[in-house]
Structure 1
Amino acid sequence: MRVRGVRVRVVVVLLLVPLLLVGCGRRGGGDHGRDTAGSGRAPAARESGDARDDGPGLGDLPVPDIEIGGSGGGEAATPTQAPRTQAPRPRPTPTDAKERAFRAVARGTCLPVHRNGAEWNVSAPPDAVSCRSARAGLFEVTRTATRSVSCPSGTGQARWSYRSAVTGGTTTLCLNRVWVRDYCVLAEQSGDTISSIGSLTAASCDDTRVPRPYNQVVVVDAVYRAPAGAGADHCRRSAQDNRRYWSLLADDGATLVCFRARS
């Protein structure tokens, strides 16, 4: 309660005290003295005369109801605030776990993957490994793109692309084979001749059953910087080496990869 509000009420009460006393004197003490000194009329008759002659007494005035702390210094009313309209939440962007795996692949890293015939052995890229890993299947990522792009298509080079049915986006990885000695790949053999070597494949050197169109397994015997005119004859380790070799030129002709039959 504030001090200004209290002063307003005290002043009003002091102003009303004389009015209340006058009303009490006219209705109470003054009338009583005249009735006892007069002809003995009943006070009720005198009250009727007073009402007719003087009108209603001041004592009947209503006392105004004054609130403490009104306009003279009370608290201001807090205006009603309009309810806040909550902004609509944006719709979540659709996500695709496989697409995230493709887009997480960094250029220059190596993936432990290979082809099983016409298909990759996994549906999404696994975690990258060291490019010096001793693995049957190992590819270096030479390019990444969040769209469909073309990649080199030479020996040991591949394009691995994924189009998301959820987001509609396409991710492309360009890959180049890292050749690791003493690991095996698939081949097609016709009679005594190896007619084709699967440069994107990998296999266990003990496999007896292989996917079509392949029917044989060969071992990576050695990997060299390709000399001029490189071929299978450059795979012999000495003049006394009489084993049979097959070869591929990879890295756009810069690398000679030598193969031999598994023993």
Structure 2
Amino acid sequence: MRMRGKSLRRWAWLVWLLVPVLLAGCSRRGVSDRDGPSVDRPGASRQADGADGPGIGDLPVPGIELGGGGGGGTGGGGGGSGSDGAGRAEPEPQPDPTDPREEAFRAVVRGTCLPVYRNGSTWNVSVPPDAVSCRSKRAGLFQVTHTATSSITCPTGVGRDRWSYYSAITGRTTTLCLNRVWVKNYCVLAKQSGNTITAIGSTTAADCYATRVPVPYNQVLVVAAVYRAPAGANASHCRTSAQDPLRYWSLLADGGNTLVCFRARS
């Protein structure tokens, strides 16, 4: 009995000594399990893979196009578009249509004088000529009183006229308003019935020696004088003296401020 008691005590001491060792081992195992499988234990790694899916190292890497490769392909497509643009040149914008005759009308300056006249019902030229001095000695001379880049109504009266041009090229109308500058000793067209002058073409001009005149006129008169119109002015104010034997006709121009006297050709 004594021997058994001693043996039990020795085993008790041995167990007592082994318990701390076993506890320490368990503690280390628990820490190791919490930290994840060791890289030296492929079995543990595979077990983890089976539970949670493939590891990061086993996932396929998506194809990433780098600047030198995939970017080049995209750039190539863009280059293709650019090349097409270069091959097909953009059409040049067409300039606005021009009309030289219209430009001549639009170049006329208000206040200047033009050497023009009507040779019947039409103007003697189709395009405005260069301006001349308003003191020029000419059969036909008109001062430009107004210009417009549209169709407008001009003042009317003796010696006043309207000259307009519509361009079929640009679709625009240019208008010149004119007032005659009367010059002595030049001639105009007139209408005569018997011994009576029924009308004087105040915007016309004619060769003083013409033997034929355009319709609707049939006579030529000479501008005998140009005066500042007195009150009640008429043809009697055209006589140079009481002994003047000539017959005169007259017109009041410039709104009644100018008396224009006419006589028959010699």
Q: Give yes or no for TM over 0.5.
A: yes
Aligned residue number for residue 157 of structure 1 = 160
Amino acid at match of 2:94: R
Q: CA deviation at 1:87?
A: 5.0
Stretches of 4+ aligned residues off by more than 4 angstroms: 79-87
Aligned residue number for residue 25 of structure 2 = none
SS in 2 for 1:92: coil
2:176 to 154, 173, 178: 173
SS in 1 for 2:104: helix
C-alpha distance in 2 between matches for 1:213 and 1:137: 19
Aligned residue number for residue 147 of structure 1 = 150
C-alpha distance in 2 between matches for 1:217 and 1:159: 23
- Answering whether residue 191 of structure 2 is matched by residue 188 of structure 1, we say yes
Amino acid at match of 1:187: A
1:118 to 118, 121, 146: 121
Amino acid at match of 1:198: G
Q: CA deviation at 1:111?
A: 0.7
SS in 2 for 1:233: helix
Aligned residue number for residue 5 of structure 2 = none
Aligned residue number for residue 224 of structure 2 = 221
Q: CA deviation at 1:242?
A: 1.9
1:133 to 128, 131, 136: 136
SS in 1 for 2:129: coil
Aligned residue number for residue 107 of structure 2 = 104
C-alpha distance in 1 between matches for 2:108 and 2:90: 37
SS in 2 for 1:101: helix
Q: CA deviation at 1:108?
A: 0.4
Equivalent residue pairs, number: 185
- Answering whether residue 230 of structure 2 is matched by residue 207 of structure 1, we say no
Using structure 1 for the length normalisation, give the TM-score: 0.68
For the aligned residues, what is the CA RMSD?
1.5
- Answering whether residue 243 of structure 2 is matched by residue 240 of structure 1, we say yes
Amino acid at match of 1:234: H
C-alpha distance in 2 between matches for 1:254 and 1:89: 57
Using structure 2 for the length normalisation, give the TM-score: 0.67
